[in-house]
Each structure stands twice: as C-alpha cells, then as structure tokens.
Amino acid sequence: MKNYRDLIVWQKSIGLVINLYRLTDRFPKNEFFGIVAQIRRSAVSIPSNVAEGFGRKSDKEFIRFLKIAMGSIFELQTQIYISFGLNFINQETYEGIYSASREVEIMLKTLINKITTCPNSSFCK
C-alpha cells in the first residue's frame, strides 16, 4: 500500500461525504449550523482520520486514528437517525445512508483487526 488513497475504506468514505454534502444541501436552512454542520463534520472526519493515521507510518498510530474514524461513523449514524426522526430525510434515504455507513464501519473494523493481528504488519503485505 503506497498511499492512503489506495485504501478502499478511504474511497468509500469519500463517496459517503460527497453524498452527505449533497443531501444536507436540501435540509432546512435554519439547520445549517445545527444538524447539517454536525453531519458534515463527522462525515469529513472519517476519511481525514484514515489519511492522517496512514501518514503516521506506525501501525499503533494508524489503529488509533482508525478508531477515531469509527467514533465518527457512530456519530454520523446517530445524526442521520435524528434527521430521519425530524423528517428531514425519508426512510429510503435513511436506509441507504445507514447502509453505506455500515459498509465503511465494517471495513474499518476489518482493517483494525488485520493490522492488530498481523505480525510486523504493513497490512500483512
């Protein structure tokens, strides 16, 4: 792995961010500094932490940043659920975003486990 951009989890999380920015453009304008800002911040945090952790060149540091990205996924899932409860998004949209976020969550967990269990990691080459 030469670059964090080669990581599928980074690519998928970038796609999630872009979709969420487009979606939240349609939220009520009075929510721009509320739930919209929270959703965007937590979403952007996911690929940002993957990239930053990768750049640390240490498995221990990378795992730490991947765990921070996991926390951001859980924040995002909560904010999307709240948005659904407030009728800012419909059920179909909620389920699609939740599914995409779960895919990233599972990929993060898998990557953390792989790095943790591999001796002299570098992702088990």
Q: Would you tell me how many other CB atoms lie within 10 Å of the CB of residue 92?
A: 8
Domain layout of the chain by residue ranges: 4-117
- Domain 4-117 part of CATH 3.20.20.30: no
Find, among 88, 76, 77, 107, the residue nearest to 12 by Cα.
107
pLDDT score recorded for residue 57: 87
Find the mean pLDDT for residues 91-101.
98
CA distance 122 to 125: 6
Kindly state the DSSP code that residue 36 receives in the 8-state scheme.
I
Dump pLDDT digits (tens) for 109-120.
Answer: 999 999 999 866
Per-residue pLDDT, averaged over 92-99, amounts to 98
Residue 38 sits at φ, ψ, to 5 deg, of: -65, -45
In angstroms, rounded to a whole number, what is the distance separating the alpha carbons of residues 96 and 79? 14
**14-63: per-residue pLDDT in tens?**
999 999 999 999 999 999 999 999 999 999 999 999 999 999 989 999 99
Q: Is 83 exposed, middle or buried (0-12, 13-18, 19+ CB in 10 A)?
A: buried
How confident is the model at residue 124, as a pLDDT? 59
How far is residue 17 from each of residues 42, 80, 119, 124, measured CA to CA in Å?
9, 13, 33, 29
**What pLDDT is attached to residue 2?**
85
